[in-house]
């Protein structure tokens, strides 16, 4: 089986109550399906060659330095980007390494295949969803994409009993 690897544009440690409960570390993935007019992380769209690639094991080794903070504050790792839901296998493998003691959060637009969301629901504690806009015309004008997947994934999440 091929080892999972992902390009990471940045890792920000010791975040408090900004992207999940407790102390969190934000891990920002390279790559996104959207081209938002006012992208907050345009480096996630650019030349991926300048960013470090990590395996789940390497990322776990780098983030576990803060495990005591995570456990003491009910914190953990927040995956952002770019679009973290483009990497469900990586995140699932990472969850297998850190186990349930760490909270795993996603900052996502939900504009990804529904299979990716289905794969992530069992391992993610919190989803911070950036809808952009519910109006399909405004959404397309702002992001360059349709919001049909977003709506489908929102239904999936609510039908699963998640809030």
Average pLDDT over residues 24-43: 89
Domains of the chain: 6-159 (3.20.20.70)
Question: 66: pLDDT confidence band, cut at 50, 70 and 90?
Answer: very high
**For residues 74 and 79, what is the distance between their CA atoms, to the nearest angstrom?**
16
Burial of 5 (0-12, 13-18, 19+ CB in 10 A): middle
Q: Is the pLDDT of residue 58 over 80?
A: yes
- For residue 41, how many other CB atoms are within 10 A of its CB? 18
Asked if residues 133 and 111 have their Cβ atoms less than 8 Å apart, the reply is no
Question: What residues pair up with 23 in beta bridges, in sequence order?
Answer: 16
pLDDT of residue 2: 56
Query: What are the CA-CA distances from residue 17 to residues 33, 81, 125 (Å)?
Result: 27, 18, 15
Model pLDDT for residues 104-131, shown as the tens digit of each residue: 999 999 999 999 999 999 999 999 999 9
pLDDT single digits (tens) 79-104: 998 999 999 999 999 999 999 999 99
pTM, whole model, 2 decimals?
0.93
Peptide bond just before 82 cis, omega within 30 deg: yes
């Amino acid at each position: 089986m091929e080892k999972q690897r992902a390009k990471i544009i940045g890792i920000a440690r010791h975040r408090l109550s900004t992207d999940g409960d407790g102390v969190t570390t934000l891990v920002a993935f390279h790559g996104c399906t959207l081209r938002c007019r006012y992208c907050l992380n345009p480096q996630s769209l650019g030349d991926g060659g300048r960013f470090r690639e990590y395996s789940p094991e390497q990322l776990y080794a780098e983030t576990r330095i803060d495990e005591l903070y995570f456990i003491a504050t009910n914190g953990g790792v927040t995956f952002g980007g770019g679009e973290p839901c483009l990497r469900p296998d990586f995140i699932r493998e990472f969850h297998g390494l850190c186990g349930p003691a760490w909270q795993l959060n996603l900052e996502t637009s939900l504009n990804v295949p529904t299979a990716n969301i289905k794969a992530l629901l069992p391992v993610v504690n919190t989803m911070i969803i950036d809808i952009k806009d519910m109006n399909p015309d405004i959404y397309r004008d702002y992001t360059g994409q349709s919001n049909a997947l977003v709506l489908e994934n929102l239904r999936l999440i609510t039908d699963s009993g998640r809030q």
